[in-house]
Amino acid sequence: MKGVILRVAVFAAVAAFILLPLAQTFLLSFMSTLPREGMVEGEWSLINYRNIAADPALTGSIVNSMIYVVLNVVLCIGAGLPAAYALSRYRFVGDRHFLFLLLAFRVTPPVVLSLPIFILFANAGLVNTPVGIALVHCLFNLPIAIWILESFISAIPKEFDETAFIDGHSLPSFLLRHLVPAIAPGIGVAAFFCFIFSWVEVVFARILTVTAGKPITMAINALFGFQTDIGLVMAMTVVSLLPGLGMIWFVRNHIARGFVMRA
Amino acid sequence: MKPYRNEAWLLMLPAAAVMAFVGVIPLVAVFNYSLHDIFSLQDVHWVGVEWYEEIITSSRFHASLGRSLLFSAVILLVQVPLGIGIALLLRGAGRWAVVVLMLVALPLVVPWNMIAMMWLGLIDPQTGIVGQALAAAGIGFDWKFTALHTWVLLVVMDTWHWIGLVVILAYAGLSGISPDYYRAAAIDGASRVAVFRFIELPKIAGPLGIVLLLRFVDSFMIYTEAFAINAGGPDMATHFLAIDLGEEIKGFSYGSAAARSMVYFLIVITVVWAFVRISGLSRQEERR
């Protein structure tokens, strides 16, 4: 009984702590926060959301963000899956160094590499396009994808592969037809983490969009000015949370499993 | 035992190519810049290690380094025990565990530049829920000019942002423990502390290592949130390493910024290397 009370109390405190800033944002997003004709400041209204829908710069930024995030997830899973399979099943020259490299780049702060990446991408014509951002976000997402996928693949016994090869499957056909379905939850979890880390990243997304292709985060920054419509900013923030919320719901039962490491 | 096959590199090619393009090449470029004085991309002079000498001997760098280390230490001391505590309570909470996990994961999906904004709105004495409550209670929370309050705000905000990661990873480790262990411990009459020390801690050590590493590096290099709160103020009190670097890049002092980047990279790499050493790349070794 004492345990139950403790649990309820702690969970309630955690919920309050987590939800408080979100609640404030949510409430403000439904308020008219600028003096407008026929409206009292602080009046409940959907005007902020209507303003978002009416502003092509804002709706466009949502589309831009979605494009590079989805592209990034595809890249990370596409390049990560074969690598994770190789690391899980074989030893080879430099495998440990490669893992160290992944770890090193995962934890390298973006601001450290931002300058040369801008110059490199400008020369390669990858500035102002979603492709550039999708690519550069692989710096920290590809390692995550490889780790998570590797741990899921290693949980599958090797006999599973051998049976498929005896049945005459080639390696690509085995990867696509057998391995992918077998580790579907792992792909879901990897996609989840790649999605959210790419969605929330600001430094690279800012420097790689000089004139066009602005992501949602930069569109929100651009809303600050002489007379900031806080309600609109908050509404945009709420919109920016929706894809993440969807992803959380999507992987809710597997979210912790991606990291079950066999010690 | 895994077979030794160098052909496996063929499978690694796509990943290796991407990492080379977005990681290795830029890193080599930073190293190259760091040895030059760069006025513009056409006007570049070799200066050798001058930038490094300047940075390493400057008292400003030492002060920022000290602040960043202190910040990381506080963050780890707050978030790791708190996260483990919540994860321990989650074990055996049944379906509520999923609800709480979803809840603590929420802040992870908030774009980073929005986090500071949400919190500043929250503590605004006129319009914020918490700000109004604090004002009503007569507590003056002066995050703009009182260093301690800025720090408190940063730590609370960062905890809000990242506690989910600690909880998720700790819970992942805990959920791998078979109930038999707990039954055996109950039969032996083991204390709660002993259960944690000898059953739970070894099991979460792996994920916990990752948590420590990620939380250390991210808090050590905090930029977006800290800058948005008070731009390093008041009076440099929250002027962390990454903010120094951001200022130099904004000031177009690229050679010096590159050298600073390399210094930070070396610090981070040293920590990663130590981490890998301590965990002995153990998982890899044992599996073989």
Q: What is the pLDDT of residues A82-138, one digit of tens each?
A: 999 999 888 888 888 888 888 888 888 888 888 888 888 888 888 888 889 999 999
Report how many Cβ contacts below 8 Å link chain A to chain B.
Answer: 272
pLDDT at B70: 92
Tens digit of each residue's pLDDT (9 = 90 or more) over A126-151: 888 888 999 999 999 999 899 888 88
Beta bridge partners of B84: none
pLDDT band at B78 (very low <50, low <70, confident <90, very high): very high
In a domain, A34, yes or no: no
Beta bridge partners of B40: B43
Tens digit of each residue's pLDDT (9 = 90 or more) over B95-140: 788 888 889 989 988 888 888 888 888 888 777 888 888 888 877 7
Distance of residue B235 Cα from the nearest chain A Cα, in angstroms: 23
Residues 42-81 of B with CB under 8 A from A: none
Tell me the C-alpha distance between B61 and B50, whole Å. Answer: 15
Spatial CB neighbours of A21, under 8 Å, sequence gap ≥ 6? B118, B119, B121, B122, B160
**CATH 3.40.50.2000, domain B63-287, yes or no:** no
In a domain, A45, yes or no: no
- Separation of CA A153 from chain center: 22
Tell me the C-alpha distance between B242 and B212, whole Å. Answer: 19
Tell me the C-alpha distance between A106 and A143, whole Å. Answer: 6
Is B110's CB within 8 Å of A154's CB?
no
Q: Average pLDDT, stretch A187-197?
A: 88
Residue type for position B148: L
Q: Which two tokens stand for residue B211?
A: 């948590």
- The answer on pLDDT for A228 being more than 80 is no
Range of the domain at A106: 55-259
Distance of residue B132 Cα from the nearest chain A Cα, in angstroms: 12
CATH number at residue A96: 1.10.3720.10
In a domain, A125, yes or no: yes
Tell me the C-alpha distance between A115 and B251, whole Å. Answer: 13
Residue type for position A18: I
Q: Average pLDDT, stretch A43-58?
A: 82
Is A104's CB within 8 Å of B41's CB?
no
- The answer on pLDDT for A44 being more than 90 is no
Cis before residue A215, ω within 30 degrees of 0? Answer: no
Spatial CB neighbours of B42, under 8 Å, sequence gap ≥ 6? none
Is B249's CB within 8 Å of A114's CB?
yes
- Separation of CA A212 from chain center: 21
**DSSP string spanning chain A?**
-HHHHHHHHHHHHHHHHHHHHHHHHHHHHTB--S-BTTB-TT-B-SHHHHHHHH-HHHHHHHHHHHHHHHHHHHHHHHHHHHHHHHHHH-B-TTHHHHHHHHHHHHHS-HHHHHHHHHHHHHHTT-TTSHHHHHHHTHHHHHHHHHHHHHHHHHTS-HHHHHHHHHTT--HHHHIIIIIHHHTHHHHHHHHHHHHHHHHH--HHHHHT-SSS---HHHHHHHT-STT--HHHHHHHHHHHHHHHHHHHHHTTTTTTGGG----
Q: Average pLDDT, stretch A228-254?
A: 85
Tens digit of each residue's pLDDT (9 = 90 or more) over B205-232: 777 887 888 888 888 888 877 887 777 7
Q: B17 to chain A: nearest residue by CA?
A: A79
Q: Are B64 and B239 in contact (CB under 8 A)?
A: yes
Degrees to nearest 5, angle at CA A58 with A50 and B243: 130
pLDDT at A75: 94
Is B121's CB within 8 Å of A111's CB?
no
Length of chain B: 288
Is B109's CB within 8 Å of A200's CB?
yes
- The answer on pLDDT for B76 being more than 90 is yes
Closest residue by Cα to residue B217 from B25, B75, B80, B44: B75
Domain count, chain A: 1
Point out the residue among A19, A83, A260 whose CB comes nearest to the CB of B175. Answer: A260
- Separation of CA B254 from chain center: 25
pLDDT at A38: 67
Residues of B in contact with A105 (CB under 8 A): 19, 23
Mean pLDDT, chain B, rounded, equals 83
Q: Are B172 and A257 in contact (CB under 8 A)?
A: yes
The answer to pTM > 0.80 is yes
Q: B33 to chain A: nearest residue by CA?
A: A116
Inform me whether the C-beta atom of residue B274 falls under 8 Å from chain A C-beta atoms.
Answer: no
- The answer on pLDDT for B287 being more than 60 is no
Comparing B69-73, B130-134, B164-168, the range with the smallest average pLDDT is B130-134
pLDDT at A226: 73
- The answer on pLDDT for A183 being more than 60 is yes
Point out the residue among A15, A245, A257 whose CB comes nearest to the CB of B172. Answer: A257
For chain B, give every domain's residue range: 63-287
Residues 196-235 of B with CB under 8 A from A: 202-203, 205-207, 210, 213-214, 217-218, 221, 223-224
Residues of A in contact with B33 (CB under 8 A): 115-116
Q: Which two tokens stand for residue B129?
A: 């829920």
Is B264's CB within 8 Å of A112's CB?
yes
Closest residue by Cα to residue B15 from A194, A225, A145: A145
| Residue B196 Cα distances to A8, A260, B132, B205, angstroms | 21, 18, 41, 12
pLDDT at A261: 43
pLDDT band at B264 (very low <50, low <70, confident <90, very high): confident
Q: B288 to chain A: nearest residue by CA?
A: A91
pLDDT band at B283 (very low <50, low <70, confident <90, very high): low
Q: A98 to chain B: nearest residue by CA?
A: B16
- The answer on pLDDT for A61 being more than 80 is yes
Tens digit of each residue's pLDDT (9 = 90 or more) over B29-60: 888 888 888 777 677 778 878 788 888 888 88
- Look at the block and give the residue holding tokens 């900031």: A228
CA dihedral A197, A199, A204, A205 (to 10 degrees): 180
Tell me the C-alpha distance between A166 and A116, whole Å. Answer: 48
Mean pLDDT, chain A, rounded, equals 84
Q: Are B268 and A107 in contact (CB under 8 A)?
A: yes
3-state secondary structure at position B4: strand
pLDDT at B208: 81
Closest residue by Cα to residue A130 from A71, A217, A56: A71
